[in-house]
Structure 1
Amino acid sequence: MLEFAFMRHALIAGLCLSIIIPMIGIVMVNRKTSMIGDALSHASLSGVAMGLILGFEPVWGVIIVCLIGAFCIEYIRQKFPHYGDMATAVITSAGLGIAAVLSKFAPGGNTFDSYLFGSISAVTLQDVIGVLVVFVLVVAVSVIYYAALLDIAIDTDLARLAGVNVRLVNTLFTFLAAITIALSCKIVGALLVLSILVLPVATALIVSCSYKGTFIMAVILGVIYTMCGIIFSYYYDVPTGGAIVILAIIGMLLVGLYKKIRLILH
């Protein structure tokens, strides 16, 4: 398996993403904005189509679309605070509408399909370098602004009272979340990124009683699900994202069953 360059690339990129995606996901889940990940991943398909049509690397189109979409969602959420879900619906609709039209003109059907459900064979050295850069940034921001992100995840007004620069932290988080989701689309697949953002966190919430415990367990589970999913995808020739999601669902069910049995026994 490791004799193939694409597998080495996929494993390195997958390991990095499996660590930083739950770091992004736990904040989104606590902020009740996890559907933003779904909106951006779906909208990213229009970036793939633009890249294929205009002849540049689709991942750049995905990054541009995700960044624009993420900040548009934040802007709409600020303007209409009581209709936060409307922002995700607007961006999802716009992104999918544009993608549906552009996909008819985009060459390279296999390339477009690989972004739908993920493909380990599509990961290049350039992708790995990009993931490594984002990995360092996300880990650094998550550590440096750990307390600030926790405060914002609970309540932005309380965060302001605690002296947190909410605008700065929100901008950094939105920027890194958009790029992380964009880079994840190639391995996990645009249609399944939300599952990887939420499922490790959801599983960790079943057994963890603190934010810190949930944070650590979500990262560990993210690594297990992603790495096992990539290996399973290689040996059984199935879409990478689908394999990761199925393993994550099985893991969540097993953890839930364990918690139930433990409560009965005690």
Structure 2
Amino acid sequence: MFEYTFMQNAFIISILISLMCPLIGMFLVLRRYSMIGDTLAHASLAGVAAGLLAGVNPIVSAFCLTSFFGVLIEILRRQFRQYAELILVVVLSLSVGIAITIISSGLVRANVESFLFGSILTVSQGDVIAVAILSLVSVGVVYWLYPQLVMLTFDEDGAQIAGVRCRLINYVFAVLVGAMISVSIRVVGILVISSLIALPVATALQLRRGFRTTMFAAMVISFIDILAGLFISYWFGAAPGGVTALVSVGMLLLVMAGCEGVDWFGRQGGIYDDRHKS
């Protein structure tokens, strides 16, 4: 199967996605921001439609517009603290409205369905380059801001008192979420990106380990989920996004069943018990 160029490209992107999604998703899940990731995943459809309309790489346009909506959510979240969930509805309605308007106008001739469900047949060399650049930049930013991001994850008020520039870092993090989503849409699809954001992290949390160990475990689990979904979808001719989502849910249930009532390392604990080790 790897004699085909599109499978080679899809394999490279899948490896990058398996590292990116848990890396960013870890902070999203622990900060109870999973729904923001889901909202931005749907918002990326507007970026794809705009990119196809303008004749630019849809991954790049999705990154730009998704990052914009991510920063917008962060700005509005501070203005409407008591109604934060309504902000997500507003942004989701705006972005999907833009996407539907562009697509239904007939100005876009490309197949948008591949971005909704994912398609290994449409992955090009340009997509690989764009994904690689965004992934490397995102990993570098997370490495640079890692201590501050951990502090914000567990205690945002305490981080602000300690002198962390919370607002700026939250804006940067919103851009990172946009990068993660944009690199995933080609293979996985817009409709199931949220499963890659949350499910590998949720599975790793069942092991009840520290922050770094859980993040590493989430990357391993995500790698298994995505590659299994890629191979199965190739052999059955199905969209890789749906298969990957099913594999991710199955992995979560399997690990939950294996960890139920079992003390894997001689004690019961969790990520919040030894977060000081991070």
Matches of 2:217 and 2:31 in 1, distance apart? 19
Q: Is the 8 A contact 2:138 2:179 kept in 1?
A: no
Q: Is the 8 A contact 2:18 2:222 kept in 1?
A: yes
Summarize the alignment of residues 1-266 of structure 1 with structure 2, pairs less than 5 Å apart.
1-106=1-106, 111-260=111-260, 262=262
Distance 1:110 1:162, change over 3 A: same
- State the TM-score, normalized to the length of structure 2: 0.89
Deviation at residue 218 of structure 1 after TM alignment? 0.8
**Which secondary structure does the structure 1 equivalent of 2:191 belong to?**
coil
Matches of 2:142 and 2:44 in 1, distance apart? 24
The code of the aligned residue for 1:38 comes to D
The code of the aligned residue for 1:149 comes to L
Matches of 1:9 and 1:186 in 2, distance apart? 11
Matches of 2:110 and 2:56 in 1, distance apart? 16
Matches of 2:141 and 2:49 in 1, distance apart? 31
Number of matched residues? Answer: 264
Deviation at residue 63 of structure 1 after TM alignment? 2.0
Matches of 1:94 and 1:112 in 2, distance apart? 18
**Which secondary structure does the structure 2 equivalent of 1:186 belong to?**
coil
- State the TM-score, normalized to the length of structure 1: 0.93
Deviation at residue 77 of structure 1 after TM alignment? 0.5
Q: Which runs of 4+ in 1 moved over 4 A?
A: 107-110
Deviation at residue 261 of structure 1 after TM alignment? 5.3
Q: Is the 8 A contact 1:6 1:124 kept in 2?
A: yes
Superposed CA offset, 1:28-77 (max 9, x none): 11111111111111112122223333433333332232122111111110
Aligned residues: percent identity?
34
Superposed CA offset, 1:173-208 (max 9, x none): 111211221221111111111111000011111122
Unmatched 5+ stretches in structure 1: none
The code of the aligned residue for 1:89 comes to V
The code of the aligned residue for 1:193 comes to I
**Which secondary structure does the structure 1 equivalent of 2:190 belong to?**
coil
The code of the aligned residue for 1:252 comes to L
CA RMSD in angstroms comes to: 1.8
Distance 1:138 1:49, change over 3 A: closer
Deviation at residue 241 of structure 1 after TM alignment? 0.8
Distance 1:95 1:86, change over 3 A: same
Superposed CA offset, 1:66-97 (max 9, x none): 12211111111011122222221111111112
2:269 paired residue number: none
The code of the aligned residue for 1:250 comes to G
Superposed CA offset, 1:128-155 (max 9, x none): 1111112212222222322211111112
The code of the aligned residue for 1:105 comes to S
Unmatched 5+ stretches in structure 2: 267-278
Matches of 1:60 and 1:233 in 2, distance apart? 26
Matches of 1:180 and 1:124 in 2, distance apart? 18
Deviation at residue 108 of structure 1 after TM alignment? 6.3
The code of the aligned residue for 2:8 comes to R
Distance 1:15 1:233, change over 3 A: same
Superposed CA offset, 1:203-229 (max 9, x none): 111122322222111111111111111
Distance 1:54 1:138, change over 3 A: closer
The code of the aligned residue for 1:24 comes to I
**Which secondary structure does the structure 1 equivalent of 2:105 belong to?**
coil
